[in-house]
Amino acid sequence: MENNKVLGVNGLKKNYGAIQALKGISFDVPKGSVYGILGPNGSGKTTLLGIVLDVLKSNGGSFEWIGYAQAQDARKQIGALLETPNFYHYLNAIDNLKIVAEIKQIKNPDINGVLERVSLAERKHSKFQTYSLGMKQRLAIASALLSNPDIIVFDEPTNGLDPEGIAEIRNLIKELSSEGRTIIMASHLLDEVEKVCTHVAIMKKGVLLREGSVHTILKDEPTYELKADNMAALKDCLNTRSTLNSIIEEDGLLIVSFTEKVTATAINKFCFEHNVILTHLKENNYSLEKTFLELIK
């Protein structure tokens, strides 16, 4: 249902000349989730975020922020951190955030409140140049929180941080999520997604490989590769099965998962009874780790 999601992405495409950065990406972001977009560098994560934040224009497909009439209306209400803002090194945290608020035209920003939120209240009068990498990133997150957004978008929020800094940002994301905010974050780190995200979309070279709740993907339940001469009939047939969990089209195959354990024999029998003859049927035991390791080979 629409009111249970905050973002719907439908067939997004983006080309840079002959290079296809996004090849028809579709997924929904549930309200209140921590939605991880996982993939190695060059998979299209940043391009995807740029499009839904109205920074880049797509070459096809569409997206919709649920509850907003236009993308630019949503953009004003969403806290985003696509790259670390260019803070003034010789200014302290308060003065830097005042400048950010003025640029974003945020009236009466609660600067002390957001600094408290990211555990920088004690260093709010310190110059930016004296901050550690983790503190600089937390100030960047504070800038994204100035408008008190319900949705926050991060691109590689722990990039370049030491283990202590990674733990700080990870805990902050969990706390923001516990307040009921929806978090969308891109990352190339499996561990990061596994520890903070409720849902994940795994991308490779502009293609969505798998998508769903982290819990479901980590359950290590098998998926099945299916093919038939009439692929449309196969898809229609599978959609009638009440235990169907997901269908993803990839390289001329349907990658299918179910909400309960099912044998390959049962799938073959089910399709045959619906007048669909399978020409290919293969079981794959996937987990989030196996999927990710496979895509970064």
Task: Give the model confidence (pLDDT) of 209-227 as tens digits.
Answer: 888 888 767 655 678 899 9
Residues 31-56, mean pLDDT to the nearest whole number: 92
Q: Where are the beta strands (DSSP E) in the chain?
A: 5-16, 19-30, 34-38, 60-65, 78-81, 151-155, 182-187, 199-204, 207-213, 222-228, 244-250, 253-258, 278-285
As a whole number of angstroms, the distance between CA 187 and CA 159 comes to 8
As a whole number of angstroms, the distance between CA 40 and CA 160 comes to 15
| Chain mean position to CA 203 | 10
CATH architecture type of domain 221-295: 2-Layer Sandwich (3.30)
As a whole number of angstroms, the distance between CA 286 and CA 222 comes to 6
Residues 192-212, mean pLDDT to the nearest whole number: 90
What's the one-letter identity of residue 274?
Answer: H
**Beta-strand pair 182-187/199-204:** unpaired
Is the model's pLDDT at 38 over the cut of 50?
Answer: yes
Q: Where are the beta strands (DSSP E) in 31-102?
A: 34-38, 60-65, 78-81
User: 29 forms bridges with which residues in the sheet?
Assistant: 7
Residue 288: count of CB within 10 angstroms of its CB:
24
pLDDT in tens, 225-235: 999 999 999 99
pLDDT category at 246 given cuts 50, 70, 90 is confident
Q: Where are the domains of the chain?
A: 2-208, 221-295
The answer regarding whether domain 2-208 maps to CATH 3.40.630.10 reads: no
Residues 60-70, mean pLDDT to the nearest whole number: 83
Residue corresponding to tokens 């994560």: 45
Residues 87-116, mean pLDDT to the nearest whole number: 94
Is the pTM above the cut of 0.85? Answer: no
Find, among 178, 98, 108, the residue nearest to 142 by Cα.
98
Residues 85-95, mean pLDDT to the nearest whole number: 92
